[in-house]
């Protein structure tokens, strides 16, 4: 994301937007797990939705088209599992890292 943003302060703005979206319960950014901190900082975060409806509403696919597209279905299943884990962590009072 930051590679496309050239102006100064965009990293701060993007981080603030991710914090707001996380606070609203819409999505969170998950950092790559790595044993070395250098590898964690060099990777882009994965955006994890808390509700897969946010993905499907914007897809523009009919239910039949979504079922036929196996790559899209795979992404939905991955996001559904991630959303379940994120929501379960939130219910237990644990927060996922936002950056």
Q: What is the pLDDT of residue 99?
A: 42
Structural domains counted in the chain: 1
Report yes or no on 98 lying in a domain.
Answer: no
Cβ atoms of 18 and 55 closer than 8 Å: no
Quick one: average pLDDT of 73-81? Answer: 91
The residue ranges of DSSP E strands in the chain, in sequence order, are 27-30, 46-49
Whole-number percent of the chain with pLDDT over 70: 74
Query: What are 37-75's pLDDT values in tens digits?
Result: 666 566 677 888 888 888 888 888 998 998 899 999 999
Average confidence score pLDDT of the chain:
78
pTM above 0.85, yes or no: no
First-residue to last-residue Cα distance in the chain: 13
Report yes or no on 97 lying in a domain.
Answer: no
* Cβ neighbour number for residue 92 with a 10 Å cutoff: 8
Q: Which domain holds residue 77?
A: 2-91
pLDDT tops 70 at residue 91: yes
Report yes or no on 63 lying in a domain.
Answer: yes
């Amino acid at each position: 994301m930051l590679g496309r943003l050239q102006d100064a302060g965009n990293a701060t703005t993007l981080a603030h937007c991710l914090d707001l979206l996380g606070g609203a319960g819409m999505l969170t950014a998950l950092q790559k797990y790595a044993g070395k901190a250098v590898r964690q900082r060099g990777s882009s975060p994965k955006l994890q939705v808390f509700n897969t409806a946010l993905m499907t509403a914007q897809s523009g696919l009919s239910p039949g088209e979504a079922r036929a597209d196996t790559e899209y279905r795979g992404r939905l299943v991955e996001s559904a599992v991630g959303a379940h884990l994120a929501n379960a962590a939130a219910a237990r009072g644990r927060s996922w890292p936002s950056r």
